[in-house]
């Protein structure tokens, strides 16, 4: 109890004048109040509780004691005072006319001894924050009052004890009530000596907030407990109310609402600092702020999600559009395709056909939709083919076929049709697609081709018949002609008749030769001739031929030479045709020469890894021009044709020769160095090759 406020006040009031009269006291306090409240029109009255008489009064201006007394009595009548008596800790505000009253009970030993009554002009009342200070002053005032009473030997008991000392003010004045009042506040209160900045007293809440014992606070600097207060050093002003941070003794920092009031008492400046812990309020503010941030964060995230979804949606739409465009292009391609496209469902009902189809068949779209392709049926396809068709496409394979379709007007047209199933991503067949191509034109060509082939075959047939007849119908009379001319020549002497018979004989022989050649060629071509092959040495055969032509050559004054490089060249051959071939080549060589040499060479030649026997017949006759080399082997052709044809012969010799040699697996080659003569090479594979 030693450290209570009163002790501090009595300490601080040491050396201050002790008021001997109540008037002096009241005057001094009125000054003080005016300073605190900054009110121009303050009056202070002390009313005795028992008598309701004003025992003290300090009056300013127009507030006369009589006037105030009347108002007070009015308050009593209105039971305002009674209310205050029941709740002595409360203060009371009351407005009457231009005046405002502020009532506060003066307590003495737990009971109300009287009232302080402050009167202000309306609109001139002190700020609410200063009420607390007023409270302190009232307490001090009543203390002083008691003190004066004490001098007058009026003894009040304090804390159950009786002060025995009289005649001078007690050093320690205690009032439990005052103490309770100050300590029951929420605010911490510091009383500070303005000159030294040291704390001279604190209330209990202050020590609790600062977590420090009272005796440890006293004498320390107020700066220690606040992070910033009047630190605005550039301006010499005092911050009277602000939020700041308070520092507890353990170093914890907590936010406080801080207010400071400076007053002068007994010519000394004092500062009363009150500070209220606002941590709770601050943390509530933080909580609100935090939830706002949280909300904002969520909104942001949601917005982001939405924009992502939006983006996805847009992509999907774009994709869809792209796909639809692709589909459109595909549709147009199908629509404009020259092929007929028919799409059916699984039941075979037509769902779609393209323009080419409609144009070809003469149907309109509506006429074919929901029909089956049976409307096109021409009867070309047999029932068993249909079974094949369905088996194929049901097993997922395409079916390809050519058949005729019927148009709307009943006409038929040829198509090449491919029917295939369309499967979905799961492999299930969902539709059937038929793509048909109009092949009527092609079919027409085909028919024409077959037709002309038949005609050609007929012509061949006719030729064969002709040739077959030839031997009979031509040869028989020819033999008679030749036979008769032979007889005539034998019988006739030299003379005109003999010459005629001879011309008949020669013409007949030539005709017979030609006829034989034609028949031979025909046999070779038809393959009907019995082409028997035996191995033979070519050298003696060629020598015999050489001997035969040596005379003919000599009669034409030509040189015929033979040059044999081998002893033996065995060749699989048909001797008759070999002879024919050699004969026609040598014959040709001599026939077309007026002057010069024909050389026959027999040798071995190698070609493509095989051995050949080669018979080369070289002349230095007129030769064969390049452009005519091809035709010399054709039937009835000579290099020089038409009226220029100076040489006798059917033109069948080389044709027969080439056919014959080729039947013997050899070939005839014409090497020509026109106009210096020609060079025929017959090459036949040697026997030992087999």
CA dist 503 → 52, 475, 485, 492, 509 (Å): 197, 18, 9, 13, 10
- Site membership for another protein, residue 634 (CB under 8 A): no
User: Considering CB under 8 A, how many residues would be counted as binding another protein?
Assistant: 28
- Give least dist CB 203 to another protein, A: 22
Taking the least distance from each CB to another protein, the nearer of 283 and 411 is: 283
- Site membership for another protein, residue 289 (CB under 8 A): yes
- Site membership for another protein, residue 252 (CB under 8 A): yes
- Site membership for another protein, residue 292 (CB under 8 A): yes
Cα distance between residue 661 and residue 573, in whole Å = 9
CA dist 510 → 147, 192, 506, 572, 617 (Å): 188, 167, 6, 31, 25
Stretch that binds another protein, among 128-136, 245-253, 321-329, 597-605 (CB under 8 A): 245-253
Taking the least distance from each CB to another protein, the nearer of 235 and 644 is: 235
Cα distance between residue 575 and residue 555, in whole Å = 27
CA dist 51 → 46, 75, 76, 113 (Å): 12, 14, 12, 10
- Give least dist CB 218 to another protein, A: 17
Residues facing residue 99 across a β-bridge: 96, 121
- Site membership for another protein, residue 66 (CB under 8 A): no
Cβ atoms of residues 142 and 163 within 8 Å? no
- Site membership for another protein, residue 254 (CB under 8 A): yes
Binding track over 218-237 against another protein, x by CB under 8 A: ---------xx--xxxx---
3-state SS, residue 177 = helix
- Site membership for another protein, residue 245 (CB under 8 A): yes
108 phi and psi, to 5 degrees?
-140, 120
- Give least dist CB 312 to another protein, A: 17
Cα distance between residue 670 and residue 616, in whole Å = 10
Stretch that binds another protein, among 258-266, 288-296, 326-334, 472-480 (CB under 8 A): 288-296
- Site membership for another protein, residue 215 (CB under 8 A): no
- Give least dist CB 251 to another protein, A: 3
- Site membership for another protein, residue 559 (CB under 8 A): no
Q: How open is the CA angle 557-558-561, to the nearest 5 degrees?
A: 140
Cβ atoms of residues 632 and 655 within 8 Å? no
Residues in region 300-339 near another protein by CB under 8 A: 300, 304
3-state SS, residue 627 = helix
Stretch that binds another protein, among 139-147, 252-260, 572-580, 604-612 (CB under 8 A): 252-260
Stretch that binds another protein, among 39-47, 144-152, 292-300, 420-428 (CB under 8 A): 292-300
- Site membership for another protein, residue 247 (CB under 8 A): yes
- Give least dist CB 239 to another protein, A: 10
3-state SS, residue 249 = coil
3-state SS, residue 673 = coil
- Give least dist CB 308 to another protein, A: 11
CA dist 453 → 43, 161, 459 (Å): 149, 157, 10
- Site membership for another protein, residue 293 (CB under 8 A): yes
Residues lying near another protein in the complex (CB under 8 A) are found at 227-228, 231-234, 243-245, 247, 249-255, 279, 282, 286, 289-290, 292-293, 296-297, 300, 304
């Amino acid at each position: 109890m030693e450290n209570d406020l009163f002790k501090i006040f009595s300490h601080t009031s040491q050396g201050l004048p002790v008021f001997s009269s109540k008037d002096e006291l009241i005057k001094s306090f009125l000054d003080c109040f005016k300073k605190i409240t900054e009110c121009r029109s303050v009056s202070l009255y002390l009313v005795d509780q028992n008598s309701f008489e004003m025992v003290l009064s300090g009056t300013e201006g127009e507030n006369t004691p009589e006037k105030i007394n009347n108002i007070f009595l009015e308050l009593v009548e209105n039971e305002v005072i009674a209310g205050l008596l029941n709740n002595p800790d409360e203060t009371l505000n009351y407005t009457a006319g231009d005046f405002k009253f502020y009532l506060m009970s003066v307590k003495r030993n737990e009971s109300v001894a009287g009232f302080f009554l402050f009167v202000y002009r309306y609109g001139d009342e002190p700020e609410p924050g200063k009420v607390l200070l007023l409270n302190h002053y009232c307490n001090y005032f009543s203390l002083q009052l008691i003190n004066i009473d004490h001098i007058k030997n009026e003894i009040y008991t304090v804390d159950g004890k009786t002060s025995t000392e009289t005649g001078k003010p007690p050093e320690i004045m205690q009032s439990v009530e005052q103490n309770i009042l100050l300590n029951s506040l929420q605010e911490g209160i510091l009383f500070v000596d303005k000159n030294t900045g040291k704390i001279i007293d604190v209330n209990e809440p202050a020590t609790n907030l600062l977590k420090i014992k009272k005796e440890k606070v006293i004498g320390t600097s107020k700066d220690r407990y606040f992070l910033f207060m009047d630190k605005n050093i550039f301006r010499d002003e005092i911050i009277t109310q602000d939020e700041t941070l308070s520092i507890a003794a353990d170093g914890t920092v907590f936010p406080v609402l801080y207010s400071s009031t400076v007053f002068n008492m007994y010519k000394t400046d004092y500062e009363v600092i009150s500070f209220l812990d606002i941590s709770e309020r601050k943390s509530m503010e933080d909580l609100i702020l935090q939830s706002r941030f949280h909300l904002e964060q969520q909104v942001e995230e949601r917005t982001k999600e939405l924009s992502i979804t939006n983006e996805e949606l847009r992509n999907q739409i774009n994709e869809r559009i792209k796909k639809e465009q692709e589909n459109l292009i595909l549709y147009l391609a199908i629509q404009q395709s020259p092929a007929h496209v028919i799409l059916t469902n699984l039941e075979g009902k037509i769902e779609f056909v393209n323009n080419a189809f409609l144009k070809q068949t003469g149907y309109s779209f509506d006429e074919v939709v929901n029909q089956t392709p049976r409307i096109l049926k021409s009867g070309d396809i047999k029932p068993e083919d249909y079974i094949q068709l369905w088996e194929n496409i049901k097993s997922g394979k395409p079916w390809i076929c050519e058949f005729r379709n019927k148009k709307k007007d009943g006409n038929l047209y040829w198509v090449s049709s491919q029917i295939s199933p369309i499967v979905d991503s799961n492999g299930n067949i969902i539709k059937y697609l038929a793509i048909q191509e109009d092949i009527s034109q092609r079919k027409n060509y085909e028919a024409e081709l077959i037709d002309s082939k038949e005609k050609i075959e007929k012509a061949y047939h006719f030729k064969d018949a002709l040739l077959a007849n030839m031997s009979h119908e031509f040869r028989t009379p020819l033999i008679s002609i030749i036979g008769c001319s032979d007889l005539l020549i034998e019988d006739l002497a030299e003379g005109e008749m003999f010459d005629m018979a001879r011309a008949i004989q020669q013409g007949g022989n030539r005709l017979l030769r030609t006829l034989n050649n034609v028949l031979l060629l025909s046999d070779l071509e038809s393959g009907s001739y019995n082409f028997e092959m035996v191995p033979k040495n070519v050298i003696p055969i060629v020598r015999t031929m050489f001997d035969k032509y040596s005379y003919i050559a000599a009669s034409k004054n030509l040189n015929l030479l033979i040059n044999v490089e081998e002893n033996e060249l065995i060749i699989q051959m048909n001797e008759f045709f070999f002879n024919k071939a050699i004969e026609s080549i040598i014959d040709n060589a001599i026939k077309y020469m007026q002057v010069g040499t024909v050389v026959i060479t027999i040798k071995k030649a190698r070609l493509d890894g095989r051995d050949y026997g080669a018979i080369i017949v070289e002349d230095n006759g007129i030769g064969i021009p390049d452009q005519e080399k091809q035709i010399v082997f054709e039937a009835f052709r000579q290099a020089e044709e038409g009226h220029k044809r100076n040489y006798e012969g059917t033109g069948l010799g080389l044709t027969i020769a080439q056919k014959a040699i080729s039947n013997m697996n050899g070939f005839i080659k014409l090497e020509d160095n026109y106009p210096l003569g020609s060079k025929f090479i017959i090459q036949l594979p040697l026997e030992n090759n087999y």
